[in-house]
Amino acid sequence: MALLHHSLLLLALAVQASASASSPPLQLRFYARSCPRAEAIVRRAVRRRAALDRSVLPALIRLHFHDCFVRGCDGSVLIDSVPGRAAEKDAPPNLTLRMLDVIDDAKAALERACPGVVSCADIVALAARDAAAMAGTVRYELPTGRRDGTVSSAAEVNLPSPSASFAEALSAFRSIGLTMVDLTTLLGSHTMGFCHCGFIMDRLYDFKSTGESDPAMDAGVLAALRHWCPPHTVTPQNESRDAIVPMNLLAQVGPFGLDNSFYPSVLAGKAVLRIDQELTSSGMASRIAATFAARPRSFRKQFARSMVKLGGVNVLTGRQGEVRLNCRRVNNSTTGGL
């Protein structure tokens, strides 16, 4: 019996070692030998676009989040749909994603420098890292070595809604291994960019089917948002092309800067999205928000930690997945990897 137990233990250890060997962890400077200029090439693509259009910065951070929340950080959000099979990017929550062509530009440059080496998943993660640095001096080292997924399905997209309650948002974050601290921190990026009216019409005119506005919304913010988003202007057909409003009406560094000004706005009841204002419904989240509001450096440090953590969600490494040659389609597209 002891011999059998010993044999089973050795077998278990062997299986564990085999799994670890086939799925190595992400590592810093993964491309140091195979493509030494990889990170610089991605950074240049982001910087070039930012010089023309600063809205690329929040767009790339949002793209990374949307990628990682479905199937992990595997670049599957970049894959195009094919007839009869809708990919992630064509799911309703992803119709307003932008700047995917910046990833294409970076990939094209990388393929010229190091063909078949750098994954699309790593490009998305690196581009988000560089966007955070350019938008708000949030700098961090990012482990790389992600591989690209070969499956992308619109039916699998289940992102937390902009109208989610705090409990719903926290449950969604916990489902991918993130915490309340990560949720409160990463929502801080909502100080950047713009929001489509379609995401807030319920708060403005029919909160919880009451026919009234959200009672938690500041009266001044409500008046401003109703001016920009009059009723009956949003339909499912134009939801990705309707009017936009700033994500944070109190942003101190404008709509394309990343700082801690999201938190004073939320604590004052002036958040645009319900999911943001819901932070104040949790005592712990409110305390975290108050800390970030008072200590900008604490926010920057935690934002960096949470972004690294987000970038490690359900990654493919080693021989898993593939390194796509074109970020918009799997390499053996004829087999229907979508």
Record the tokens describing residue 193, joined without a space: 């960019």
**Alpha-carbon gap, residue 23 to 15, rounded angstroms:** 12
The answer for residues whose C-beta is within 8 angstroms of residue 25's C-beta and 6 or more apart is 143, 145, 317
Distances in Å between the Cα of 275 and the Cα atoms of 63, 170, 272 are: 18, 10, 9
The token pair at 145 is: 């070595």
Pick the closest to residue 53 from 193, 189, 190 (CA basis): 193
**Active site annotation includes 66:** yes
For 48, the token pair is: 């070039």
Contact partners, residue 283, CB within 8 Å, separation at least 6: none
Q: Three-state secondary structure along 123-177?
A: HHHHHHHHHHHHHHCCCCCCCECCEECCCCCHHHCCCCCCCCCHHHHHHHHHCCC
Cα–Cα distances (Å) from 89 to 72, 236, 312, in that order, read 15, 16, 21
- Active-site residue identified among 5, 6, 64, 66: 66
Which residues are catalytically annotated?
66
